[in-house]
Homo-oligomer: A and B are copies of this chain.
């Protein structure tokens, strides 16, 4: 089931991935350190399984400061009745668990960005060991993969579900069908420029039906966005045929981010004032943000203007901004 040419993973699961019923357990990853010579990282995992049927892998906490996914998945793991399931649901609600516990995008252990660490290494850092286990032991079991993201502490997004434009158009079509089933307020077709190390790509290269989300941000979760996540996860399982019934319908707006002109970057440090709110329309040349110098009063702010027309789908979240930070993202409606 996994590539045996490599060293086996040091991770020891405390659940049996092939057993029926509900199991709550851990992926135990040995981690020797000053604070614990024979310590481990204990990554929660739940397996809900019932007889034959496809396998869905649901993941949250790929980045540790994004909460809609973990909230929906801890809830689902606790409440999903195996009697209503045909197949297997593997839930990793907090995949980069050290990052999730710290409330940070990356792991406090090794600063690893899990979503840039695939396919990982069994003898690498803690983050690389997690990636390797998912790559070699979990992904091969899955037919459907849903990886939850939000903006995290430093970005805020309009809530959307997305899949990638792929070379294999059959696979792509299936993925966009799953996006439609998820039924987020917005749906996005993404063309990945730099796929290096992404979980998305790892799943797609194995031919899995892979979808992802951005459901808010700021390092918090709103009641509205958690509801989107919870309904989307159930819709995804229904769409996959693992849970019976039709996905619950919901209106969605399809968006596209066609070019680099979608993104505006700061060229100075300062205090940012985003002039419009998420979802607001914008025309090319409009003032969308200003960076105010903070060393003294009386200085003019630096203007950031839209490089294309569309609507604001993402923005820098914290009040202070650094040169090089992404200030805003614009998308266009697909008609």
Which candidate, A137-145, A169-177, A233-241, A292-300, is the interface stretch facing chain B? Answer: A292-300
Q: How far is the CB of A262 from chain B (nearest CB, A)?
A: 12
CA distance A94 to B319 in the complex (A): 13
A120 close to chain B: CB less than 8 A: no
Residue in chain B with minimal CB distance to A97: B294
Interface size on A, residues (CB 8 A): 90
Which candidate, A244-252, A303-311, A323-331, is the interface stretch facing chain B? Answer: A323-331
A87 close to chain B: CB less than 8 A: no
A residues with a Cβ closer than 8 A to B are 7, 10, 22, 24-26, 28-29, 31-42, 44-46, 63, 65-67, 70-71, 74-75, 77-78, 91, 93-94, 100-101, 103-106, 111, 113, 116, 123, 151-156, 194, 196, 218-224, 226, 265, 267-269, 271, 273-277, 280, 292, 294-300, 317-320, 322-326
Q: Given the known A-B contacts A37-B152, A106-B33, A196-B123, are A295 and B224 also in contact in the complex, defined by CB atoms under 8 Å? A: no
Please give the count of copies of this chain that the complex contains.
6
A224 surroundings in chain B (CB, below 8 A): 277
Q: Given the known A-B contacts A40-B324, A123-B196, A222-B274, are A296 and B35 also in contact in the complex, defined by CB atoms under 8 Å? A: no
Q: Given the known A-B contacts A78-B299, A194-B10, are A294 and B94 also in contact in the complex, defined by CB atoms under 8 Å? A: yes
Question: Which one of B44, B218, B273 contacts A71 once the chains associate, using CB atoms below 8 Å?
Answer: B273
Given A24-B297, A71-B271, A221-B319; 13 other pairs, CB 8 A cutoff: A26-B296, A29-B324, A34-B105, A37-B153, A38-B325, A39-B325, A40-B265, A42-B323, A46-B298, A77-B297, A78-B299, A101-B294, A223-B275
Q: From A10, A67, A271, name the one whose CB has the most chain B CB atoms within 10 angstroms.
A: A271
Q: How far is the CB of A102 from chain B (nearest CB, A)?
A: 9
CA distance A220 to B105 in the complex (A): 18
A-B contact pairs, 22 of them (CB 8 A): A26-B323, A34-B65, A36-B326, A37-B151, A39-B154, A39-B324, A39-B325, A40-B325, A65-B319, A66-B319, A67-B319, A71-B319, A74-B297, A75-B273, A75-B292, A78-B299, A218-B219, A219-B317, A219-B319, A222-B277, A223-B277, A269-B295
